[in-house]
Amino acid sequence: MKIIPAIDLIDGQCVRLTKGDYATKKVYNSNPVEVAKQFEGSGIKYLHLVDLDGAKAQHIVNYKVLEEISHKTKLHIDFGGGLKTDEDLRIAFESGADQVTGGSIAVKDPPKFENWLSKYGAERIILGADCIRRKIAVHGWQEESDMEVVSFIDAYVQKGVRNVVCTDISKDGMLQGPSFELYTEILNKTPLINLIASGGVSRYEELPKLADLGCSAVIIGKAIYEGKITLKQLESFQ
């Protein structure tokens, strides 16, 4: 199972939110490039980079940070937040993203998301299935749709999606443990996907449990920044 630390960006700074609420913003570092270098220095190979400004503005904003991290590290970067147009996607890939995550676009404009899948391939396009009360949330988690998360994922698997990141928003930033039951249900329904667990990870002992469930990767955010899980511990899990 891959370990993927998260860097969330607002105003070019490394921040964390709680349950996706922008009012809960806490700045952890004003220099996200240094944070990325610290991750790489501890043997980390992957990075989940989220443009929270972009998610709110509904177009890519923090691409310069993406560009700098991709130039100054060898981290494999998946990038998301506000990617709505072909131009957004072009900028993200040209700025150094190895993969991109599409969430809102997959809800609001399925033909465009499917076009991205066919144009760039299932390895480079990750489906973002972030949910609250099992309903897919969009636009930086500010809006709830009427789509049920497991059915939503299954429908896109039929269309060729292979990589899915699923955040249970009610768990995000709470440091109370991930959504084990939801991930079990998703993997029972769609066993062929690479499921990336996200949200709620609070201690090292949860990681082997996620691996045993069949998750292919886990995104860890606040647990690292609050010292609940150390980079040293993660070295032993690589």
Catalytic center residues: 8, 130
Cβ density class 46-62: b for 16+ within 10 Å, e for less: bbbbbbbbbbbebbbbb
pLDDT in tens, 33-62: 999 999 999 999 999 999 999 999 999 999
* Sign of the CA dihedral with 191 first, then 194, 200, and 202 last: positive
Give the CA-trace dihedral at 181, 206, 139, 17, to 10 degrees. Answer: 140
Segment 68-84, tens digit of pLDDT: 999 999 999 999 999 99
pTM of the model: 0.96
pLDDT digits (tens, 9 = 90+) for 113-167: 999 999 999 999 999 999 998 999 887 677 788 999 999 999 999 999 999 999 9
Domains of the chain: 2-235 (3.20.20.70)
